[in-house]
Homo-oligomer: A and B are copies of this chain.
Amino acid sequence: MTSTPAKNPQIHLVSRPTGEALAANFKLIDADLPELQDGQVLVRHHFMSLDPYMRGRMNDAKSYAVPQPLNAVMQGGTVGEVVASKNAHYAVGDKVVGFGGWQQYSIVDGNTPGLLRKVDTTHVPLSAYLGAVGMPGVTAWYGLTQIIKPKAGNTVVVSAASGAVGSAVGQLAKARGCRAVGIAGGIDKCRYVVDELGFDACIDYKAHTDAKSLHEALRDATPDGVDGAFENVGGPVLDAVLARMNAFGRIALCGMISGYDGEPIPIKQPQLILMSRLTITGFIVSEHMEIWPEALKELGTMVATGKLKYRESVAQGLAAAPEAFLGLLKGRNFGKQIVKLV
């Protein structure tokens, strides 16, 4: 056990967006760090995670999670190192995954199950536990294996394909003998998805700004139609995918990032759900904790053996988090967006 630092820089949500989220919604606070109590663990965060779902929580509206409270630390996943412990289960130097929020340190009750998880960084880098071997990876695993349930030879399409979730979806699909087709924004991301991640094809939606052009590009990339779709975006991309779905296709609806700001984006041709007898399932991976061990085992093994590749966009320092988060919402990240804190 080491001495407790006196200060804990943190970022609060101080106002809710009325349309687009803005940097002014956040404020950097130099909070005091209280004394560690019996049973508690002090974690110094090395990396924190920025994820699209956080945008939904910024609204004070019906969502899949309770809203992020105002004038409180922004919540989110973190990885770090135990720097002080008054709990027999945790020792200084332990590497841990938690939900510490946008701050340099967190004080965690080590006796409450699920708050902290010790991880092994021998073969898997610490930051990967926020991405490929963390919530985004498990999200990919759940949607693919539990909703899309692809068979070898199926075609699986995933949007935001170079991102933390999408890149895992395609590689997990390839490992199951599927044709994996990505949709991403920009030629660099598309090249990465095909050349480095091993997808069979990737469509640059920014090069297809009208619905007809996007549809034709997707048609060319999916000559046998689409059996499963993993949807991270919504809007025109989802419309294009719907039109290419084969009978009895499955769509795992994981995100609608294009609709988080301002007005929702409609599904233009819902009759396709009926005509193609599709199943669309929305899901939140944190509600399916029972599958995490199996998912993390496959994801961890694949990362350790180089079969699951990923890329990170790393923002430097806590103060950079708001801009990095706003950039993520606009697709400016390339791979998993994290913030480096040490």
Question: Given A266-B267, A266-B268, A267-B267, A278–B282 Cβ distance below 8 Å?
Answer: yes
Which of B63, B270, B271, B287 is A275 in contact with, Cβ under 8 Å?
Answer: B63
Nearest B residue (CB) for A276: B282
A280 located at the interface, meaning its Cβ lies under 8 Å from any Cβ of chain B in the complex: yes
Check A238–B270 contact: CB distance below 8 A: yes
Instruction: Write out the residue numbers on chain B whose beta carbons fall within 8 Å of the beta carbon of A234.
Output: 270-271
**How far is it, in angstroms, between the C-alpha of A238 and the C-alpha of B275 when the chains are bound?**
16
Which of B267, B274, B284 is A64 in contact with, Cβ under 8 Å?
Answer: B274
Nearest B residue (CB) for A62: B275
A279 located at the interface, meaning its Cβ lies under 8 Å from any Cβ of chain B in the complex: yes
Check B281–A278 contact: CB distance below 8 A: yes
Residue-wise interface mask of A (52-77) relative to B, using a CB-CB cutoff of 8 A (1 in contact, 0 not)? 00001000001110000000000000
**How far is it, in angstroms, between the C-alpha of A188 and the C-alpha of B77 when the chains are bound?**
56
Residue-wise interface mask of A (216-232) relative to B, using a CB-CB cutoff of 8 A (1 in contact, 0 not)? 00000000000000000
A166 located at the interface, meaning its Cβ lies under 8 Å from any Cβ of chain B in the complex: no
**How far is it, in angstroms, between the C-alpha of A64 and the C-alpha of B276 when the chains are bound?**
6
Instruction: Write out the residue numbers on chain B whose beta carbons fall within 8 Å of the beta carbon of A254.
Output: 274
A256, A276, A280: residue with the most chain B Cβ atoms closer than 10 Å: A280
